[in-house]
A and B are shown apart, each in its own frame.
Chain A
Amino acid sequence: MIGEGIQSSNQRRHSFVKDHVEVGFFTDPSVCIGCKACEVACKEWNHVPDDGFTWSGNSYDNTGHLGASTWRHVMFLEQDRQKGNQVVGAHSLGDGDGEDPFRWVFLSDVCKHCEDAGCLEACPTGAIVRTEVGSVLVQNDVCNGCGYCVVSCPFGVIDRRPEPLPDAGGAFKCTFCYDRQKSGLVPACAKVCPTESIVFGRLDDLRVRGAERVRQLQQKGYTDAQLYDPTETSVRGIHAFFLILGEPEAYGLPPKPQVPTIYLKSAWTSAFATAIGSFIATLLAFAFFS
C-alpha cells in the first residue's frame, strides 16, 4: 500500500480515533518557511472558500487572522530582534553603523482545541462536541448559527461565515480533519508541511518533543524559545500547542487564556444539580408513596 514504511508521523496512517488516543499539533516556527501550504491544503481538503482578495500591507500576511474561512493562518512577524545566532548582514558581526538586529518569524496558527473549550461550553445546541481524539468539532448539521461560541473563544478562533459564502451563517473553525482522522489519515495541514514545522501525533509524544526542541534551540542560542501550552489556566491545556520565539503577545496569543464560560458553567452545574436533586426527590417520593 502507498505509504507503508513511512517514518514521519505526518505521513503514517494511524488508528487514533479507534483507539481513543489524544492527539495534537505541535507547531514550530524555527523551521517554518512561511510558505502557507498549510493554509491551502486545509482549504482544499475542507472545501473552505477564499477569504477575499485584499492586500494587507502587513508583511506577507494577507490572511490576517483565523476565522470562519481561514482555519490555518501563517503569521509574519518582522521584529527588531535576533533569531538565535543568526547573522543578518554585517552588523550582526559588529560591523556597520550599530543598526538594530532584525528577524522574520513565521508561525502557523490554528484552533487550539482546548482541554476546556469556551466554544463547546457555550454552545446551547450540542453542535460542538469533543471527539475520541480530544479535538473540538463543530457539527454544521446541528449548528443554528447563534454565535455564542464566537464570543466564548479565548483565542478568537471560531467565527460565523458571512453571506454570500457557502454555508453562510454557521460557525466554522478547524475540524482537526476529523474525517481524515477517522480514516486513519493525518490532517491536511500537517501532511503537506514541507519542513515539518507542523507535526501531528499523540499529544503526550508531542509534548515531550516540544520540550526537547526548546532545550535544543536554547542550546543553539535561541534564548527566547519557549512553549506556548497554557495548562495552568481555565483552558487547562491545548491540543494544538506552539513553540514561540519571544512573548506570546507578539503572536496575538493571550498569555493566560481563560474560558469565559467557565464561571457560567459552574453556575449552571450547581443549578442543574439542584434541579436534578429536587426532581429525583420528587420521583422517589412518588415511587415511595405509590
Chain B
Amino acid sequence: MPGLGTSFGRGGATTAQQDLANADCILIEGSSMAEAHPVGFRWVMKAKERGATIIHVDPRFSRTSALADIWVPIRAGGDIAFLGGLIRHIIENNLFFRDYVVHFTNASCILREDFRDTEEGGTGFFSGWNEQQRAYDKESWLYQGDGLSFPERDLTLQHPRCVFQVLRRHFSRYTPEMVEKICGISPTLFHKVADTLVAASGPDKTAAICYAVGWTQQSKGVQIIRTASMLQLLLGNIGRPGGGILALRGHASIQGSTDVPTLYDILPGYLPMPRADGTEATLRDYLAKQTKPTGLWHNTPAYFVSILKAYYGKNATAENDFGYDWVPKVTGNHSYFEYLYDMADGKMEGMFIMGQNPAVAAPNSRFERAALSKLKWLVIRDMVEIESASFWADSPEVDRGELKTEEIETEVFFFPSAGHAENDGTFTNTQRLLQWRQTAVRPPGDCRSDEWFMHQLALRLIAKASNDPMDEPLRALDWWYPEDETGMPHTEAVLAEINGWHTDPAAAVGDRGAVARVGDPGRNDGVIFGVDRNGKPHHGPQVADYNELKADGSTACGCWIYSGVFSRDGVNKANARQSKDYLGHGWGFSWPSDRRIIYNRASASPTGEPWSQRKKLVWWDQTQSKWTGVDVPDFPAGKAPGYRPTRQEKGLDAIPGDAPFMLHEDGLGWIYVPKGLHDGPFPTHYEPLESPVRNFLYSRDTDPVVNWFTRQDNRFAPPGDQRFPYVLTTYRLTEHHTAGGMSRFLPHLAELQPEMFAEISPELAAQLKIKNSDYICIVTLRGAIETRALVSRRARPLQIDGKTVHQIALPFHWGTAGNVSGAAANDLIPISGEPNVTIMESKALACNIVPGRLPRGPAFEDWLDRYVPRGGPPNLHPEQPPPGAPRGRVAAGHEHESPIR
C-alpha cells in the first residue's frame, strides 16, 4: 500500500512480528489478527503478558477481541474518523512527541499559499479538483518553494501554513462527539483508547499498530493507513523497538508479489513501468522523470538500467538504450478490474490463473464467472479443481440456466501444480523477510511448479520467435537458466539474478568493490551459476548489495531492494537458519540489507543517543564515528547526526544526519504527503460507497477520486437506501484460507467450519424473527446468497446519530467445490477501485436480509427481481458517474512512493 510508502518511503511493514513483544500498547484495527495470523498473534500475547495493553477496534467481537484488554466496536468504514479523532486529541492536548515530530517529520514544512484544505468550505475537496476529469491537479499540494528537497521549515511549528498547523485545522472537527456520531464509539471509550495509547508512547515507551485487509479493502484504504502512519509519527513510534506499523499480509508472499511484482504498473523494486503518455518515450525521458534529485531514489538510473540488463542480458546495450524500446508501454489502468471488464465484453482472448480463485474470490463473483465464459482459452494452475477451473460445469449460473455448458466456448487447460514442499523457492513474509523453502519431495504425477511451467513455456515461445519486429523483445530476452533433468530451472539461479551481478563474465571484484578483468570467465570468485544453457560464460561475480549497481550496463539486478540476499559469499541468505538474536538476524534475509526494523535511525534522538535505555536499538557511536546497535542501521553508516547538507548535494548526501526517512527527498517522515497520492495529502473521512449513513463532516459523501466501475451488473445502492438498511462486512476464519482452495478440500480443516454463516446480533434476529441456525438470504444490488444465521452477542448494533445501525459479518471462504460447500460472500460485493491501488471495498457495504431459503435453479432470477428490480440507470448513487465518464484518474501513480499495498 502506498499508505506506508508515502508516509515513510517503503511500502512494507516497518517492523518484525517478534518485536511486538516489546510494545507497551498494541492497537489492532482493520485486522482480526488472532484469527487470520494466529502465530503472529503469539507476540501480541507475549506483550500482553509483559504488561502491554491490547486494543482491538473492530465492527465484530472476534477471537482477537476476546483476548484484547479493550474492544472498541466501530461502524465499518469509520476508521479515518476514529483515528483522525485521536490525532486531534493528541494535538489539541499537546500530547505528541515534540522532539521526534519537529526533527524527524515534515510537520515543520511550509505549504504553498494556494493550497486549500477540505475544511475550507467543508465540501470535502482539496484544492485542485477538476470535476470534468474527476481528478485532482496536485500542483498546489507541494511544499512552498522549489521541489521537495530542502523544504522551508519552521521548527517552532507556529507558521500558519506549516504542516502541523494545517493538520490541526484539518482534524479540528474530529471531536470525540463527532467520533461518536460517525463511529458509534462513546467519548468515554474514545478517551480510554486515547489515554492508553498516549501513555504507551514517548522516549521510554512505544506503541505498535497492526492492520490487515480490514483497512485495505475499503474505498479509502490507503488513507486509513496514512492516518495510522500520521498517528505513529506524532507519537514518535516509527523506527523504534516495540513501535511501528505492522501490515499483516494474507498470503505467504503478498509482500513478495509486490516487491517482485506480478502487477501491471511496476517493475521489481517498485520501479514504475514506462507509460505511453508521451513523457517517457525514451530511456532519457523516463530517467529524467523518475530520478529524484535527493534521497535514495537519486540512484534510479542504476536500478533501472540494471533491471533492463537482467531482462535482456547482453542484448541490452548503451547503443540501444538497454532495450528500453522493447519494454511494453502502459497505456492506461491494466489492473485486474479493468481487464475483467474487457473480458466480460469479449475483448480478452486468453487468461492465466495461477494460485488464485477469482470465480469465488473476486468481488461481484457472479459477474466474474460470466466473464470467464467469454474467454477463448483459460490456463489454470492449482492443486485442486477450484471453482475457477470448473465454472463451465457446476457454477451457480449453470445450475440456474443462465449459462449453458454446451454453449461455453472457453477451452480450459488445468495444470496440477506442485505444493510448497515439492519445489524450492523464496517467500517474502509480512515483515519483508525472505525465507527459502528447501525441496522435500518431487511433486506427484503431472504436478509441476509454476517455475517449471514458466520455463517450459518460455522455451517453447522463444523457439517460435521470428524476425518480425514484434518478436524482437522475445528474441532479446535473456532466458539463460540452467535446468535439472526434469526440465526444472535451478531456482537459485533465478535468485542469483534477482540479487544481481557484474555483467562481464571476466570481472573479478576486489575487497573494496573494485572491479578488474581477470581470471576464468564465468568461474571467478563470487560467481554463482556463471554459465548459460550452452555452457558459455554468462555473467561475473555477484554484487554485494544495491550500492554496487551502476547505470552503465556493467551490472544486472532483477530486484534492487533484494540485493544482498545472494551475494559474493555464495551464501543464499534466504536459506540461512541460524537466528542469532530476537530480531532474527542470521535467519532469512530482511530487505533492505537485512534491516529488521526500518527507519531505525529514529530510535536515537536527533543527536544520536538512544531515546531511552529501555528503547535502545540503533545509536551513533562517537568513538567509531558510525551508527551501531542491535539492528543493521537503516542509514548511511558514517553519516554523523550533526551533518547538514549545503543544499548543493545530490542523492543521499543531501539527507541531513537527523532525517531518518532517506527514501524521501527531504529525509523526513511525511505527516503530509506533498506528492504520491491521488485523493489528497491528508486523510479525510468519507463514507463507504454504500452506506446507510450520510457524511456528517462534509457535503461530499464518498472519496471523489474513487473508481466506481459503473455498469448495470455492478450497481451501488444510494446512501440511506431503505431496501438495504444493514451494514455488511466480511472477514476470515482461522480455520479457512481465503477462497478456500487450500482449506475447503482438506477434511481436517473443512470439518472445523463446515458451512457458510452470517453473524447477526440477537437484537436484529429478534427484529427479523429469526432464530440461531435459521436459513436466511443476504441480498445486495449485485445478487443474493443463502446462508445460516449465527446469532450472537458478538455482533452488536450501534447507535449512529441517534439511530440504531445493525452490522452483519460474513466469512468468505466458500464455493461450490470441496468437502464443504456454501455460498460465496463475494457474489454480494461490488467491484470498485480505491483511487491509489484499485482495490475493491469489501469491508463496508449495504445489504438486506430475507429470512428463509433461496430458490435454486431458474426460480432464482424471479426471486431476486422481487428485492432487486432489474432496469433503471446503472448509476444509482448520486456521486457515481454514468458509464463512460472519466473514471477518476486515468491510471495508477508513478511516484516511487506509490508501491502497491
Report A-B touching, CB under 8 Å: yes
A residues with CB within 8 A of B:
31, 33-37, 39-40, 43-44, 49-55, 57, 59-60, 62-63, 78, 80, 83, 85-90, 93-96, 102-106, 194-195
Partner of A195, one of B42, B749, B793: B42
Q: How far is the CA of A59 from the CA of B794 in the complex (A)?
A: 10
Assess the A106–B66 pair: CB atoms within 8 A.
yes
Assess the B751–A194 pair: CB atoms within 8 A.
no
Partner of B747, one of A37, A50, A89: A50
**What would 6 A/B residue contacts be, using CB atoms closer than 8 Å?**
A53-B755, A87-B69, A88-B65, A93-B192, A104-B63, A194-B42
Give the residues in chain A near B41, CB-CB below 8 Å: 33, 194-195
B residues with CB within 8 A of A:
34-35, 38-39, 41-42, 45, 49, 61, 63-73, 185-186, 188-189, 192, 733-735, 747-755, 757, 772-773, 788, 790, 792-794, 796, 819-820
Assess the B749–A89 pair: CB atoms within 8 A.
no
Assess the A93–B68 pair: CB atoms within 8 A.
no
The 3 nearest A-B residue pairs measured at CB: A55-B755, A57-B773, A50-B747
Q: In the complex, which residue of chain B has the Cβ closest to the Cβ of A104?
A: B66
CB contact under 8 A between A103 and B754, given known A59-B792, A93-B189:
no
Assess the A62–B753 pair: CB atoms within 8 A.
yes
Q: In the complex, which residue of chain A has the Cβ closest to the Cβ of B747?
A: A50
Assess the A39–B45 pair: CB atoms within 8 A.
no
CB contact under 8 A between A194 and B747, given known A89-B71, A93-B188, A95-B188:
no
Give the residues in chain B near A104, CB-CB below 8 Å: 61, 63, 65-66, 794
Assess the A35–B757 pair: CB atoms within 8 A.
no
Nearest CB of chain B from residue A219's CB, rounded to whole Å: 12
Assess the B753–A37 pair: CB atoms within 8 A.
no
Give the residues in chain B near A53, CB-CB below 8 Å: 750-751, 754-755, 819-820
Q: How far is the CA of A37 from the CA of B42 in the complex (A)?
A: 13
- Chain B interface, DSSP helix/strand/loop, else mixed: mixed
Partner of A55, one of B34, B185, B788: B788
Assess the B772–A78 pair: CB atoms within 8 A.
no
Q: How far is the CA of A55 from the CA of B819 in the complex (A)?
A: 13
Q: In the complex, which residue of chain A has the Cβ closest to the Cβ of B64?
A: A33
Assess the B39–A194 pair: CB atoms within 8 A.
yes
Q: In the complex, which residue of chain A has the Cβ closest to the Cβ of B822?
A: A55
Q: How far is the CA of A49 from the CA of B747 in the complex (A)?
A: 8
Nearest CB of chain A from residue B186's CB, rounded to whole Å: 4
Q: In the complex, which residue of chain A has the Cβ closest to the Cβ of B744?
A: A53
Give the residues in chain B near A54, CB-CB below 8 Å: 754
Q: In the complex, which residue of chain B has the Cβ closest to the Cβ of A216?
A: B49
Nearest CB of chain B from residue A196's CB, rounded to whole Å: 8
Q: How far is the CA of A242 from the CA of B748 in the complex (A)?
A: 25
Give the residues in chain B near A86, CB-CB below 8 Å: 68-71
Nearest CB of chain B from residue A165's CB, rounded to whole Å: 11
Give the residues in chain A near B67, CB-CB below 8 Å: 31, 33
Give the residues in chain A near B49, CB-CB below 8 Å: 31
Assess the B186–A96 pair: CB atoms within 8 A.
yes
Q: In the complex, which residue of chain A has the Cβ closest to the Cβ of B790?
A: A57
CB contact under 8 A between A95 and B186, given known A53-B820, A102-B61, A104-B61:
yes
Give the residues in chain A near B753, CB-CB below 8 Å: 55, 60, 62
Nearest CB of chain B from residue A45's CB, rounded to whole Å: 11
Q: How far is the CA of A104 from the CA of B793 in the complex (A)?
A: 10
Give the residues in chain B near A83, CB-CB below 8 Å: 66
Give the residues in chain A near B188, CB-CB below 8 Å: 90, 93-95
Give the residues in chain B near A94, CB-CB below 8 Å: 188
Assess the B63–A50 pair: CB atoms within 8 A.
no
Q: How many A-B contacts if CB must be within 8 Å?
A: 123
Give the residues in chain B near A43, CB-CB below 8 Å: 748
Q: How far is the CA of A222 from the CA of B779 in the complex (A)?
A: 43
CB contact under 8 A between A102 and B757, given known A36-B752, A62-B751:
no
Q: In the complex, which residue of chain A has the Cβ closest to the Cβ of B187?
A: A95
CB contact under 8 A between A39 and B790, given known A87-B71, A103-B66:
no
Assess the A89–B748 pair: CB atoms within 8 A.
no
Nearest CB of chain B from residue A90's CB, rounded to whole Å: 4
Nearest CB of chain B from residue A142's CB, rounded to whole Å: 27
Identify the interface centre among A37, A50, A93: most chain B CB within 10 Å of its CB.
A50
Nearest CB of chain B from residue A6's CB, rounded to whole Å: 11
Q: In the complex, which residue of chain B has the Cβ closest to the Cβ of A36?
A: B752
Assess the A63–B792 pair: CB atoms within 8 A.
no
Partner of A40, one of B35, B66, B748, B820: B748
Q: In the complex, which residue of chain A has the Cβ closest to the Cβ of B62?
A: A104
Q: In the complex, which residue of chain A has the Cβ closest to the Cβ of B191?
A: A93
Q: How far is the CA of A75 from the CA of B189 in the complex (A)?
A: 30
Assess the B61–A50 pair: CB atoms within 8 A.
no
CB contact under 8 A between A55 and B757, given known A40-B748, A49-B747, A102-B793:
yes
Assess the A90–B39 pair: CB atoms within 8 A.
no
Nearest CB of chain A from residue B720's CB, rounded to whole Å: 25
Q: In the complex, which residue of chain B has the Cβ closest to the Cβ of A96?
A: B186
Q: How far is the CA of A93 from the CA of B188 in the complex (A)?
A: 7
Identify the interface centre among A35, A87, A93, A102: most chain B CB within 10 Å of its CB.
A87
CB contact under 8 A between A51 and B189, given known A57-B788, A88-B61:
no
Q: How far is the CA of A86 from the CA of B790 in the complex (A)?
A: 24
Q: How far is the CA of A289 from the CA of B820 in the complex (A)?
A: 77
Assess the A106–B63 pair: CB atoms within 8 A.
yes
Nearest CB of chain A from residue B59's CB, rounded to whole Å: 12
Give the residues in chain B near A106, CB-CB below 8 Å: 63, 66
Nearest CB of chain B from residue A100's CB, rounded to whole Å: 8
CB contact under 8 A between A90 and B42, given known A35-B35, A104-B66:
no
Assess the A88–B45 pair: CB atoms within 8 A.
no
Give the residues in chain A near B39, CB-CB below 8 Å: 194
Give the residues in chain A near B819, CB-CB below 8 Å: 50, 53
Give the residues in chain A near B35, CB-CB below 8 Å: 33, 35
Q: In the complex, which residue of chain B has the Cβ closest to the Cβ of A80?
A: B793
Partner of B735, one of A36, A49, A102: A36
Give the residues in chain A near B748, CB-CB below 8 Å: 40, 43-44, 50
Given contact pairs A89-B71, A93-B192, A96-B186, enumerate 15 new A-B contacts (beta carbons under 8 Å).
A35-B34, A36-B752, A39-B752, A50-B748, A51-B751, A52-B751, A53-B750, A55-B754, A55-B757, A86-B68, A86-B69, A87-B189, A95-B186, A102-B793, A194-B41
Q: How far is the CA of A39 from the CA of B747 in the complex (A)?
A: 12
Give the residues in chain A near B749, CB-CB below 8 Å: 40
Give the residues in chain A near B69, CB-CB below 8 Å: 85-87
Assess the A33–B38 pair: CB atoms within 8 A.
yes
Q: In the complex, which residue of chain A has the Cβ closest to the Cβ of B733?
A: A60
Give the residues in chain B near A63, CB-CB below 8 Å: 751-752
Q: How far is the CA of A53 from the CA of B768 in the complex (A)?
A: 28
Nearest CB of chain B from residue A97's CB, rounded to whole Å: 9
Q: How far is the CA of A86 from the CA of B34 in the complex (A)?
A: 17
Q: In the complex, which residue of chain A has the Cβ closest to the Cβ of B184?
A: A90
Q: In the complex, which residue of chain A has the Cβ closest to the Cβ of B755?
A: A55
CB contact under 8 A between A78 and B793, given known A89-B73, A106-B63:
yes
Q: How far is the CA of A57 from the CA of B733 in the complex (A)?
A: 15
Assess the B185–A90 pair: CB atoms within 8 A.
yes
Q: How far is the CA of A106 from the CA of B41 in the complex (A)?
A: 16
Q: How far is the CA of A39 from the CA of B735 in the complex (A)?
A: 11
Give the residues in chain A near B73, CB-CB below 8 Å: 89
Assess the A90–B189 pair: CB atoms within 8 A.
yes
Assess the A50–B750 pair: CB atoms within 8 A.
yes
Give the residues in chain A near B189, CB-CB below 8 Å: 87, 89-90, 93, 95
Nearest CB of chain B from residue A218's CB, rounded to whole Å: 15
Q: How far is the CA of A44 from the CA of B61 in the complex (A)?
A: 30
Q: How far is the CA of A106 from the CA of B35 in the complex (A)?
A: 13
Nearest CB of chain A from residue B171's CB, rounded to whole Å: 22
Give the residues in chain A near B792, CB-CB below 8 Å: 59, 78
Give the residues in chain A near B790, CB-CB below 8 Å: 57, 59
Assess the B63–A34 pair: CB atoms within 8 A.
yes
Give the residues in chain A near B185, CB-CB below 8 Å: 90
Q: In the complex, which residue of chain A has the Cβ closest to the Cβ of B193?
A: A87
Q: How far is the CA of A31 from the CA of B47 in the complex (A)?
A: 12
Q: How far is the CA of A47 from the CA of B772 in the complex (A)?
A: 34
Q: How far is the CA of A283 from the CA of B249 in the complex (A)?
A: 78
Assess the A34–B66 pair: CB atoms within 8 A.
yes
